[in-house]
Amino acid sequence: MYSGPKAHLKQFYDALLKLGLKVGKEAKACPCQTIVPLYRNHVFAQIKPTTNSRIDLGFALGDMKPTGRLIDTGGFAKKDRITHRIPITALSDIDDEVKHWLKVAYDRDV
């Protein structure tokens, strides 16, 4: 997933994975070919290299209204699990807002 033109995204992925696994003691990752879902009982978030310059951190937040940098993916209307995302283009994008939404998504999956 992180070779060639996307190699520089690996540092973002590593930081997001570490953060996602630390959000709660039941958090686990199950890497696939194109995404890395983060699970508790169900997928609560996913790490996806979307372009050569961006990773999208997706969240399972249901019909919650997006605020701040959170973007509605239209997933709730399509009955997708991932309903919101925050684009990550720099390590500085992995901030308190990202940590907050990861925790909210994790806590919703009980």
CA distance 38 to 31: 9
What percent of the chain is modeled with pLDDT above 70?
A: 100
Stretch 96-107: mean pLDDT, rounded? 97
pLDDT of residue 21: 97
CA angle 101, 81, 68 (to 5 degrees): 30
Q: Which sequence spans correspond to the domains of the chain?
A: 4-108
- pLDDT tens readout for residues 53-63: 999 999 999 99
- The per-residue pLDDT for 77 is 84
- Average pLDDT rounded to a whole number, residues 27-38: 95
